Amino acid sequence: MNITWRPRAADDFEQLITTATAGNVNAASRDKSLVETRILQLVRFSELGRKSRRVGVRELQIEGTPYVVVNRRLGDEILILRMFHNGKATLT
């Protein structure tokens, strides 16, 4: 199974990590690693996260961060559609 990012989702990821960590290189590295690790788990467990209001779309909360990854499984592909900041404080 492959993971594919829509261009807008990839832009969301970079912008959210940069903005949310406000120049803190250690926090940015930690958050980026947590997001990437959790997304890789979708390869084996494509039903992770909760169902979205849209059919076939799931929302994966990244524990320890304020991020939610919106994704859809299409055959042997996990398509990352968007990434959002949920507005809640992080658990650090």
Looking at residue 89, the DSSP 8-state letter turns out to be: P
Confidence grade of residue 79 (pLDDT, cut at 50, 70, 90): very high
5: left (phi over 0), alpha (psi -120 to 50) or beta: beta
Model pTM score: 0.85
Range with the lowest mean pLDDT among 51-55, 62-66, 67-71, 72-76? 62-66
Task: Please count the structural domains in the chain.
Answer: 1
Q: In this structure, what CATH number is given to the domain that contains residue 52?
A: 3.30.2310.20
* Residue 78 domain-assigned (yes or no): yes
**Residue 30 DSSP SS3:** helix
Domain boundaries, position 17: 2-85
Q: Does residue 90 carry a pLDDT above 70?
A: no
Cα–Cα distance for residue pair 84/75, rounded to 1 Å:
24
